[in-house]
Structure 1
Amino acid sequence: MNLKELAEHLNLSQTTVSRALNGYPEVSERTRLRVQQAARDLNYSPNTRAKSLATGRTHAIGHVLPISDSHEMVNPVFGDFIAGAGSVYSQNGYEIVISLVKDSDEAEAYRSLHARGSVDGIIVHGPRMGDTRIPLLRELGLPFVVHGRASHETGAYSWIDINNQRAFQRATEFLIDLGHRRIALLNGLEFMDFAYRRRSGFTTAMTSRGLTPDPALMRGEEMTEVSGYRSAREMLALDQPPSAFLASSMITAIGVRRAIHEAGLVMGRDVSVITHDDDLGYLKNGHSVPIFTATRSSVRTAGEGAAAMLLDLISDPTLPPQSQLLEADLIIGASTGPAI
């Protein structure tokens, strides 16, 4: 069914039907509801190109993902974020445009999206401490929301983020309260803003309790199962091994668990482990009883929040920059216990 046929079915003009579907205020609420109900009943879907011409918008949101040798953006965390964001886009008639580019081509990708008018807005992923994408997008005039923050960026911008510092401070304090003193931090790459904040939370908790973080027990690497396994294996072989690990990713924590098992130790009894990001759609942390003690904040919820924030900014360009800080819950699982 096309717009003309829908209009004839309702005995209305095509202009009225189009305006009702696109939320124009001059259409009465009664007519708008009647048109929307008929569109649902008859499975009417507006032509995207025609809708763009009518509204001046593409009804598409851009996600530019750099392909890097040092940092892989396409992972289970990204998948959950896109699932959350995508549900909001779908409800509001928006589509996703994902561009995979080399690190060196990322700035040009944003310029190209803007020049071609391909998208109405951008979600920025994986912000660094000083992130050049933020001033670039501000200069281009593209509405954007950052998933995370950039500590060295002084200008105002819209963002949604987890309170990474507080989450890791709280997790470290929990381990200290259990009697652990040699605590290892297996962090993400520390030029990334989230990892910088997590290290800060870890070191703040240690020093405030009179403990000195041991550099030999601190790593900042790509968050993979292999890196978790390798780091934990090396640390457990030290003359003074750690009695607990704090891992920045569920994937890393799985590698830590493998290393503990290979060392003939029992996780939760001999060595404690706390992980972050355990609330993933396809990588669940156990069932009724969590496998890992974890700092939990739903990535899917962050995706929903970022998408809703961006669509608000697109709908009303006069809005000031928006922000939302999400707190993480501490979930107690079987992977932690008193120091022995």
Structure 2
Amino acid sequence: MNLKQLAQHLELSQTTVSRALNGYPEVSEGTRKRVTEAALRLNYAPNARAKGLATGRAMAIGHVIPISTQHEMVNPVFGDFIAGASESYLAAGYDMTLSLTGDADEAENYRRLKAKGNVDGIVVHGPKMRDSRIPFLKSLGLPFVVHGRASDMDEEYCWIDVNNARAFQRATEFLVDLGHRRIALINGLESMDFAFRRRHGYEAALACRGLVPDPAIMVSEEMTETNGHRAMSRILAAPMRPTAVLCSSLITAIGVRRAIHDAGLVMGRDVSVITHDDDLSYLRNGPDVPIFTATRSSVREAGKLAADMLLRLIARPDAEPETCLLEAQLIIGASTGPAPRQDP
């Protein structure tokens, strides 16, 4: 199917269909959604070579992935984000490029992509509190959208993020309402913006209820199953073990559940667990009743929204930066319950 046939099918002009697929702001959101859904359903794929010649664009979006011993690129999360973004790229006739880079030469890779004209825009992943990539990309004049935020920077830039502070504040309040007073936190690396915000939400909730955070049961590590198991095993071995724990990743929470089982305890009875990011295509949180209580925000939807935002920025590079803050849902599962009675 070509553009003319797609336009005839939708009873729209070719110009309107083209502008909808390319993210032009003057097209209403309803029309854009109708066009993109029809393009996907009818397997419409614009000729990227011809389109690139006509527009002077590469018709490609870049994702540069740092190779690091300490980086929060959790594979299932990144895979879902890319799947969502790809829907928008496909509908708009864009290809996607993935580049692996060492931390030290990441800036050089951005410079090379810009110089060669290989991509029309970049999605930045895993921002730190103060992230040098943001001012660097602005200086290059390369359109970009950040998945997350950099709290310690005053730069204006396009970003999409989850309200991490509010999600963990709400989760902590839920546990306190269940009677828990000693609540552990197994967080991601707190140089990363999302993890800093989650700790802030956790601490704010405790403070509002007159509870003091205990550094002995607060952990900041890369989010892996092994780290979750090791951290929870150490916390449970302490004389005053917590009755509940917050985890920054479902992957970490799986390790936490294993540690609880190894200690001869029952999750949801002896120790309550709340996790984040449980809505993953390849790592489901139970078939019917959720295994874990979770703060849920669709990573796939975030990927699609980020891609749409970047395509709009490419179409209108002088437009004011867009931002999007998503709220997480609290999903009640089998991993939480009332605080157990403590021995006198």
Q: Tell me the TM-score normalised to structure 2 length.
A: 0.86
Name the aligned partner's letter for residue 267 of structure 1: M
Return 5+ residue gaps in structure 2 as ranges.
Answer: 6-13, 21-38
Q: What do the CA deviations read for 1:290-325 (whole angstroms, capped 9, x no partner)?
A: 000000000001001000000011112231100000
Within a 5 Å distance, the mapping from 1:209-288 to structure 2 comes to 209-288=209-288
- In 2, the alpha carbon distance for the partners of 1:176 and 1:80 equals 32
- In 2, the alpha carbon distance for the partners of 1:103 and 1:262 equals 37
Matched, 1:114 2:109: no
1:228 is displaced (CA, Å) by 0.5
Cross-structure match for 1:31: none
- In 2, the alpha carbon distance for the partners of 1:202 and 1:20 equals 47
Indicate if the aligned counterparts of 1:187 and 1:195 stay in contact, CA closer than 8 A: yes
For the structure 1 residues 328 and 22, does the alpha-carbon distance in structure 2 shift closer, same or farther, using more than 3 Å as the test?
closer
Indicate if the aligned counterparts of 1:121 and 1:144 stay in contact, CA closer than 8 A: yes
SS of the residue corresponding to residue 320 of structure 2 reads: coil
1:48 is displaced (CA, Å) by 3.0
Cross-structure match for 1:178: 178
Name the aligned partner's letter for residue 69 of structure 1: T
Cross-structure match for 1:197: 197
1:155 is displaced (CA, Å) by 1.5
Indicate if the aligned counterparts of 2:48 and 2:93 stay in contact, CA closer than 8 A: no
Indicate if the aligned counterparts of 1:166 and 1:201 stay in contact, CA closer than 8 A: yes
Return 5+ residue gaps in structure 1 as ranges.
Answer: 10-17, 25-38
Indicate if the aligned counterparts of 2:44 and 2:91 stay in contact, CA closer than 8 A: no
For the structure 1 residues 22 and 331, does the alpha-carbon distance in structure 2 shift closer, same or farther, using more than 3 Å as the test?
closer
- In 2, the alpha carbon distance for the partners of 1:79 and 1:321 equals 26
State percent identity of aligned pairs: 67
Cross-structure match for 1:79: 79
Matched, 1:67 2:57: no
Indicate if the aligned counterparts of 1:291 and 1:335 stay in contact, CA closer than 8 A: yes
Q: What do the CA deviations read for 1:31-72 (whole angstroms, capped 9, x no partner)?
A: xxxxxxxx99x9886543333122101110010000001125
Q: RMSD of the alignment, in Å?
A: 2.4
- In 2, the alpha carbon distance for the partners of 1:212 and 1:240 equals 15
Cross-structure match for 1:28: none
1:128 is displaced (CA, Å) by 0.3
Report the count of equivalent residues: 314
Q: Tell me the TM-score normalised to structure 1 length.
A: 0.87
1:194 is displaced (CA, Å) by 0.2
Indicate if the aligned counterparts of 1:228 and 1:256 stay in contact, CA closer than 8 A: yes
- In 2, the alpha carbon distance for the partners of 1:226 and 1:44 equals 44
- In 1, the alpha carbon distance for the partners of 2:274 and 2:16 equals 52
Q: What do the CA deviations read for 1:239-273 (whole angstroms, capped 9, x no partner)?
A: 00011010000000000000000111110011100
SS of the residue corresponding to residue 333 of structure 2 reads: coil
Runs of 4+ in 1 over 6 A off after TM superposition: 18-21
